[in-house]
């Protein structure tokens, strides 16, 4: 499939706007909220809610002939060039909204997502809770249960979710919601996994606390406990039917629909990684030039210094990750299956940003390792891109399965 990697004028305009936001609104407070990990970055949240969200957003409609989804990735890259953790702290539907869009009915999408488009009001968040102590990369091992109480026509959820991005805001702020993955039938395995929308403040959903993390510290990564948490029957996304044997053939949108969320979210996470990597590379180049060191990009490899070769490799890694990301995004906009491409982009970007930021700290010397510069922060922020939304190993497995056409039972 031919894909143009030349951004449209609309994408260029969007890129320039979000770069200004990153420079003027995010970078000045980046260090502050890295150090004040669990404080709400009020000035950023309020600014985004009142100003940033009013900018017309590009919508990535299936079959769209524009580069709508690429614009979403460009926005993620620019804002994460500013600060990845603050990007994750933006009051948006985020992964919760992606799950509703992937597995919900048209009525559910309208009901649960319309509030985020309303004018005025107050900041609200969306989140998705999958991970458990015994269910990380293997989402099919989820132990959280959902039982239908016929007498009240409600689902009753019980279990504990950990490492839930935006979980604090989504579970506490009025108007927010968390999409909880739970099993309605443990004997059915992954076919029994369904997703449920739990509005903020629902009795029985308790915020246990937020993680202290290596990186992306301004982001709220929460533990949520569900104890007889009741939601209406209609809050189950998609169908409640469990098809144990023929779920693959019938296209059951329970587990498969929820997993389809990652085909849309992985290119965005890859774009986030590109943004962090570019921040580190840009800064390193600026510092070297400030100290009288100019990179001779045009020189042959046999003429370049070791530092120049390192920087050339960093630039190549960054560009490769970006192009893979844009390919996966473009396919999504056109309504084409992109599971392979989304995992390729995520795996490449996660690995590249880890290498680029580590090399940046190395090239900058002792100041780069100190808090005098943001380089050490970018190195810490980078690693999560190799872990969440599917670890490096999981995405490589997905790529291998798609290329070799092997099921998970054969290649694991």
Which pLDDT score, from 0 to 100, does residue 63 have?
40
Which pLDDT score, from 0 to 100, does residue 189 have?
85
The three state secondary structure string of 211-248 is CCCCCCCCCCEEEEEEEEEEEEHHHECCCCCCCCCCHH
Residue 176: HSE in the Cβ half-sphere, 13 Å Cα cutoff: 25
Cα Rg of the chain (Å, integer): 22
User: Residue 286 is encoded by which pair of tokens?
Assistant: 């600026």
Nearest to 375 by CA among 269, 277, 290: 277
Domain ranges of the chain: 9-92, 101-258, 260-404
Reply yes or no on domain 260-404 having CATH 1.20.140.10. yes
User: Out of 78, 132, 341, 389, which one is annotated catalytic?
Assistant: 389
Instruction: Establish whether domains 101-258 and 260-404 are of one fold.
Output: no
Which pLDDT score, from 0 to 100, does residue 234 have?
95
Please give the CATH architecture assigned to the domain spanning 101-258.
Answer: Beta Barrel (2.40)
Q: Is 362 exposed, middle or buried (0-12, 13-18, 19+ CB in 10 A)?
A: middle
Q: What is the DSSP code (8-state) at residue 301?
A: T
Positions of the chain with pLDDT under 70: 1-5, 53-66, 117-120, 243-254, 257-258
Q: Is the distance from CB of 407 to CB of 280 less than 8 angstroms? A: no
Name the phi and psi angles at 105, rounded to 5: -85, 165
pTM metric for this prediction: 0.91
Which pLDDT score, from 0 to 100, does residue 392 have?
93
Indicate if 50 belongs to the active site.
no
Which helix (H) or strand (E) segment is 387 a member of? none
pLDDT tens digits along 145-199: 999 999 999 999 999 999 999 999 999 999 999 999 999 998 888 889 999 999 9
């Amino acid at each position: 499939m031919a894909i143009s990697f030349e951004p449209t004028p609309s994408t260029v305009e969007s890129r320039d706007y979000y770069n200004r936001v990153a420079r003027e609104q995010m970078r000045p407070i980046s260090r502050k909220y890295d150090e004040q990990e669990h404080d709400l970055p009020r000035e950023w949240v309020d600014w985004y809610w009142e100003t940033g969200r009013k900018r017309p957003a590009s919508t990535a409609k299936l079959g769209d002939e524009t580069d709508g989804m690429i614009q979403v990735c460009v926005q993620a890259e620019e804002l994460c060039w500013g600060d990845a953790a603050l990007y994750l702290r933006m009051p948006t539907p985020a992964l919760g909204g992606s799950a509703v869009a992937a597995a919900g009915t048209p009525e559910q999408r309208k009901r649960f997502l319309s509030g985020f488009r309303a004018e005025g009001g107050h900041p609200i968040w969306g989140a998705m809770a999958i991970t458990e102590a015994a269910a990380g990369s293997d989402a099919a091992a989820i132990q959280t249960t959902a039982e239908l109480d016929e007498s009240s026509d409600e689902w009753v959820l019980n279990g504990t979710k950990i490492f839930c991005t935006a979980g604090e805001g989504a579970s506490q702020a009025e108007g927010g919601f968390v999409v909880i993955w739970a099993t309605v039938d443990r004997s059915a395995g992954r076919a029994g996994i369904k997703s449920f929308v739990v509005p903020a403040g629902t009795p029985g959903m308790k915020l246990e606390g937020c993680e202290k993390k290596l990186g992306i510290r301004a982001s709220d990564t929460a533990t949520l406990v569900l104890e007889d948490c009741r939601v209406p029957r209609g809050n189950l996304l998609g169908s409640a039917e469990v098809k144990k044997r023929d779920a693959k053939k019938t296209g059951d949108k329970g587990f498969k629909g929820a997993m389809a969320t990652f085909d849309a979210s992985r290119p965005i996470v890859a774009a986030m990684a590109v943004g962090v990597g570019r921040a580190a590379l840009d800064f390193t180049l600026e510092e070297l030039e400030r100290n009288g060191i100019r990179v001779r990009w045009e020189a042959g490899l046999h003429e370049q210094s070791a530092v120049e070769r390192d920087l050339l490799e960093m630039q190549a890694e960054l560009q490769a990750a970006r192009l893979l990301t844009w390919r996966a995004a473009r396919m999504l906009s056109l309504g084409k299956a992109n599971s392979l491409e989304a995992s390729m982009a995520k795996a490449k970007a996660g690995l590249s940003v880890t290498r680029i930021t580590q090399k940046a700290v190395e090239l900058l010397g002792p100041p780069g390792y100190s808090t005098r510069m943001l380089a050490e922060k970018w190195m810490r922020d980078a690693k999560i891109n190799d872990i969440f939304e599917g670890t490096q190993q999981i995405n490589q497995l997905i790529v291998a399965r798609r290329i070799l056409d092997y099921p998970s039972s054969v290649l694991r």
